[in-house]
Amino acid sequence: MSASLAFTTEAMKLLEEEQFLQLNKGSHEQQAQPSPQEIPTNSWYPPSVVSSPSSSRPTTPSSTSSSSFSVQRPADRPESPSHVSPAEAAGIIVLLKDKSVDELRKLLSDKDAYHQFLLSVDQLRDELRKEALQLTRENLEKEPQIMELRNQCKIIRTTELAAAQEKLSEIERKKEETLKYYAPTSLLHRLQEAMNKTDDESEALRRQLLDKEIDVGAFVQQYKKLRNTYHRRALTHLAAKTSVTG
């Protein structure tokens, strides 16, 4: 597309020079020359094409009003970024030479009109066709690489991802068990079981004393310790139960 833009721009420059030479010739013969309108400032061309210093032309001494059509000498014109052969430039000029100044100005300012003009150029159609074929070839060349990447993704999903999901499931299971173990209802239940166990141990120690299996001094020391533990757990259980239900 950039090459086609260069072709068209070069052809417009040449055609513009030809029109200016005709206008300049008429100004010498009639000693008057109408002032042409300037190229639209809202052109969608890049600044380097429309208004860059490299595309400006020196004015002629015949009239200051003809500055917008002043000629840039071939020796001063910079080379086009893409090498345009004379035959290619002539082909574009053939399409542009019958257009009026207004039509040329419209090509500079109207992007849709410019694209429509480009699509009418056989050379451009061939170029676009070649670019499309080139893109298709590149896509086909990358197909093995794409398939390889897909296979790698499949392997990752079936191996690494599966192992990570299994580990995550194990962690979530442990988390649920921990939350359940430390839930208020679970803590109250375990505290109640500890109270019952301490009460049973106290009762067993009392039967040992009645059966004279333990002396009084040892009984008092152990029994006192068990009852302290029982009442401490009972008070804790009562406070926790009140906090949960309240």
Per-residue pLDDT of 137-191, as tens digits, reads 999 999 999 999 999 988 888 888 888 889 999 999 999 999 999 898 898 999 9
| Chain segment 74-124, per-residue pLDDT in tens | 344 444 444 556 666 666 777 777 778 888 888 788 888 887 777 677 766
Instruction: Check whether 227 has a pLDDT greater than 90.
Output: yes
Whole-prediction pTM value? 0.36
pLDDT value of residue 10? 63
- Structure-model confidence comparison of residues 88 and 48, the more confident one: 88
Q: What is the pLDDT of residue 9?
A: 64
Secondary structure percentages of the chain, helix, strand, coil, to 5: 75, 0, 25
Instruction: Give the C-alpha separation, 132 to 165, whole Å.
Output: 44
Between residues 246 and 48, which one has the greater pLDDT?
Answer: 246
pLDDT mean across residues, the chain: 74
Does the pLDDT value for residue 234 go beyond 80?
yes
Q: Where are the domains of the chain?
A: 2-126, 183-246
Identify the band that residue 63 occupies on the pLDDT scale cut at 50, 70 and 90.
Answer: very low
More confident residue, 91 or 54: 91
Tokens 């991802």 appear where? 161
Instruction: Give the Å distances, CA to CA, from 26 to 16, 19, 60.
Output: 15, 11, 14
The two counts, helices (H) then strands (E), for the chain are 10, 0
pLDDT at 3 over 60: no
Mean pLDDT across 65-72 = 41
